[in-house]
A and B are shown apart, each in its own frame.
Chain A
Amino acid sequence: MADTDLQARAHELKFRDPNQAASLARAIERVVAQIDDRPVCLMHVCGSHEQAIARFGLRAILPRAVDVIMGPGCPVCITDMPEVDEAVALAERGAHVATYGDMLRVPGTRKSLADAQADGARVHVVYSIDQAVALARTTSDDVVFFATGFETTAVATAAVVLAGLPPNFSILSAHKFVPPAMEIVAALPDTRIRGFIAAGHAAIITGWKLFEPLAERYRLPIVVAGFEPLDILAAVLRLLELVRDGDARVENLYPRCVTADGNQNAQDQLWRVFEPAGGQWRGIAHVPSGNLALRSEFAHLDARVRFGLRDMPAPRSEDREAVARECICGEIMIGRASPTDCTLFGDACLPEAPVGACMVSSEGTCRIWYQYGGRPDLAPTGTAS
């Protein structure tokens, strides 16, 4: 009975068998006991990994000697204030601004898009960029798509650009690129990170080979992981084995989706439309090649060009509320601090009144810690409560 159930679940691609999860957790415990320097800190750079870990309560079954930290993998969290300000400015100037739900409440210097909406601006939440294009076909007003997300999402923007857009449509690109996220952390002199769990869906696009130089340069193992509970636990197990053996290689634990060279078709479209650009990642640093900007041949679609946003004055730091300066999201995103280290966490900074983006985004570390109780001190299943 259980076998056919397992097959059914597998064919729904839900790898969630609790018994296997428990076996993997025990195996993890055994391997980590063989590593001298504990706790072993591993980093993932994907908000959806953090969501999955929190949602399934996986940290509650990992041994305390394993510390899985979330790095700068939340594209919403690293979208800098000036970028949000640009979107807000366009909305206030009367354009329709369409964006993914995650971005609506991210604080800008003065306000978020939600605030602008409350003040009467036409801000639309969409599930797919398709819907923004459809909107543009129903009106003669300007429609701007505030494009956020890593390469997994940027490819959709690229595909839509190449398919042809109505003249009143433009794109404000705040897309980001994943590999620099890992590089920043790996390059830190006092990094505690012993290995990376690479974002599985971004890797569908890029392939896993591009992580090899990173693994070699910093002598850190990297395992590509999927998003089901078993995917994540299996990846942690394998990564710990590589750490134990001092083996700084890249391994793919998500072979059903990720290949060595990735999705060439998607990559072609991505790089035809976008090019890497330097940019400020909120609270972290200037990241060379961390952003994706529209190529010059698509300048006619670039909202920054069309609306002369380049001439917008940069916000002065005095403009930010004093309290916002106490925000340590940048430190949290690179694994140097935890939400509980922040004086604002759970007090002045809450999901309903976020200061930093880590609290805004559903995949921000602070938001998830707040919602799910951080590193849960909760007894594992089966233990008497």
Chain B
Amino acid sequence: MCLGVPGRIVDINGLVATVDFWGVKRQVRLELVDSPVAVGDYVLNHVGFAIRRIPEEDIEGTLALYEELLQESDQDLMAADVRGEMDSARERDHGGH
């Protein structure tokens, strides 16, 4: 129940922030946010209110989280032959990056 859309604060005027959603900007109210915000912060907007300040370090952290999950899932496997198959699959996936 949650059309939360993330954006970046470009201006603050009292309890109202102007948020850039990478294409359009909209004013978002700050009464509900969970910590003080500043220009440049990422926030999650829902029905015109910021409900979360998204810490920038957590964005990189999310990417790391997915990587970790995949690696741990790999380590779970018993069979070496399956692991070998996995390694070549990963090389194929990441080769293009």
Contact = CB atoms under 8 A, between A and B. Distances in A.
A127 B61 contact: no
Q: How many of chain A's residues touch chain B, expressed as a range?
A: 35 or more
Interface residues of B, number: 42
B32 A256 contact: no
A2 B97 contact: yes
Nearest to A269: B32
A198 to B, nearest CB: 11
B81 interface: no
Interface string A209-234: 00000000000000000110011001
A195 to B, nearest CB: 16
A257 B65 contact: no
User: Most chain-B CB neighbours within 10 Å: which of A155, A204, A262?
Assistant: A204
A367 to B, nearest CB: 15
Contacts of B69: 24, 27, 234, 237-238
Contacts of B46: 152-153, 156, 201
Interface of B: 1-4, 6, 22, 29, 31-34, 42, 44, 46-49, 51-52, 54-55, 58-63, 65-66, 69-70, 73-74, 76-77, 82, 89-90, 93-94, 96-97
Given A127-B47, A128-B48, A163-B31, 4 more contacts: A2-B97, A23-B89, A234-B66, A256-B55
B1 A73 contact: yes
B19 to A, nearest CB: 12
A224 to B, nearest CB: 12
A256 B61 contact: yes
Nearest to A45: B1
Interface stretch (A7-15, A182-190, A278-286): A7-15
A19 B1 contact: no
A150 interface: yes
Contacts of B70: 20, 23-24, 27
Nearest to B3: A48
A159 B29 contact: yes
Contacts of B49: 128, 155-156, 159
A31 B52 CA distance: 33
A227 B31 contact: no
A226 B6 CA distance: 12
B31 to A, nearest CB: 4
A47 interface: yes
Interface of A: 2-3, 6, 10-13, 15, 19-20, 22-24, 26-27, 30-31, 46-49, 73-75, 100, 127-130, 149-150, 152-153, 155-156, 159, 162-163, 178, 199-202, 204-205, 226-227, 230-231, 234, 237-238, 241, 253, 255-257, 259, 262-266, 269
Given A152-B46, A159-B31, A163-B31, A202 B2 contact: yes
B32 A19 contact: no
Nearest to B51: A204
Nearest to A26: B89
B1 A201 contact: yes
Contacts of B33: 263, 265
Nearest to B57: A256
Contact of B59 (A11, A204, A227, A265): A11
A256 B51 contact: no
B73 A201 contact: no
Contacts of B31: 159, 162-163, 269
B1 A153 contact: yes
A257 B4 CA distance: 10
Contacts of A159: 29, 31-32, 49
Nearest to A13: B6
A130 B3 CA distance: 17
A266 B2 CA distance: 15
Nearest to B82: A30
B37 to A, nearest CB: 12
Contacts of B82: 30
11 contacts: A2-B97, A6-B63, A100-B47, A128-B48, A155-B32, A199-B1, A201-B4, A204-B51, A237-B69, A241-B73, A256-B55
A204 B49 CA distance: 13
Contacts of B66: 15, 20, 24, 230, 234
A178 B1 contact: yes
Given A73-B1, A201-B4, A10 B73 contact: no
